[in-house]
Amino acid sequence: MVKRFAAKNLVLTSYKMNIMKFITKNSSHSTLHIAYKEKYIKEKVSTKFLGLQTDNHIKRKNHIKETISKWSMLCYQVNGPFQ
């Protein structure tokens, strides 16, 4: 994979990398140990990818909470405090 990135003049930055293992709710979670340039890449249980907040069970609960929070703040700024 590193060769593919180099061929396209892209650089991998290990401090920005995260990994996420998608699992079903019935399966047991095992920790992944993946390294790049002798540094382990952090494993995340949730992340934002292409604007969508998701977790390792591919649920959108966090995305919905984040969206509601943003819309609530926007409505407050436009309309002022609710009475």
Tens-digit pLDDT string for the chain (83 aa): 678 888 988 887 777 788 888 888 787 767 778 888 888 888 888 888 787 777 887 777 777 888 888 888 888 777 766 55
State the pTM of this model: 0.50
Give the number of other CB atoms < 10 A from CB of residue 42. Answer: 13
